[in-house]
Amino acid sequence: MQETSADPAVKAELARCFAAHRGLRSLSVEVRVTSRGVPTLRNGVVEIALKRPGRLRMEVQGALREAGACLLVASHNFVYEALSPTKTYHAKSIPADGDALTYGIQNNELLPLPFFSQLMADKDGLESLLKEYSTVQMTRETIIEAPALRVFMLERERLRAVLRFDEKAGLLRQAILTQGNIEIREDYRSLRVNPRLPDDLWRFVPPRGFRDEDAQGAAIG
């Protein structure tokens, strides 16, 4: 692992942002995913709702919906996934010592960038991030009639990540990863902090026309 070159004040501010995410009781947010230079990645919106302990729902809208998983619901001891290419769904059991929210965030491909998972679920997320990038810099960004942002610029070799956090709340607003002609961007919008979320969000209802993957396999066998 490489040693990160970052001012202690920069590390402290980044640690505050990680702590802000770990302190959330619940969250609702829409993540707009856009990219260029990645033929296999389509654009779309991932709607995320989560509640601690152990509740997660991620649902995809737009062209991104057709690329893979379009719905994930994690609750109690299972993670349920619906897959667009095969029009099937399945359930995965969570290890006995696991947490549905953590397992669901860390074991899905609905968001292309790893930063949300590191912030919300990886207990060593900050350390992992600092080990991955050789330099970390920070600046402040202000836009008229918008919250001030803390902007972190992380670099290693030809890879560059830019993370924008709400300065007051410390919550992620944008993540951009660039490498050569490739750019992947996630914009976090309609963010609601610690909202009351209805219990039916955590009940998995397969999309219309989707078949149970396990039942289909049993029938074939």
Q: What is the pLDDT along the chain (221 residues), one digit of tens a residue?
A: 455 566 889 999 999 999 999 999 999 999 999 999 998 888 999 999 999 989 999 999 988 888 788 999 999 889 999 999 999 999 999 987 788 999 999 988 899 999 999 999 998 889 999 999 989 999 999 887 778 999 999 999 889 999 999 999 999 999 999 999 999 999 999 999 999 999 999 999 999 999 998 775 544 44
Alpha-carbon gap, residue 165 to 119, rounded angstroms: 12
Three-class secondary structure of residue 24 per DSSP: coil
Domain count, the chain: 1
Alpha-carbon gap, residue 75 to 132, rounded angstroms: 31
Alpha-carbon gap, residue 125 to 127, rounded angstroms: 6
Q: Which domain holds residue 196?
A: 8-220
Instruction: Report yes or no on 1 lying in a domain.
Output: no
CATH number for the domain harbouring residue 195:
2.50.20.10
pTM of the model: 0.90
The owner of tokens 């302190």 is 23
- Tell me the two tokens of residue 4: 């990160």
Residue 179, φ and ψ in degrees, nearest 5: -150, 105
Instruction: Report yes or no on 3 lying in a domain.
Output: no
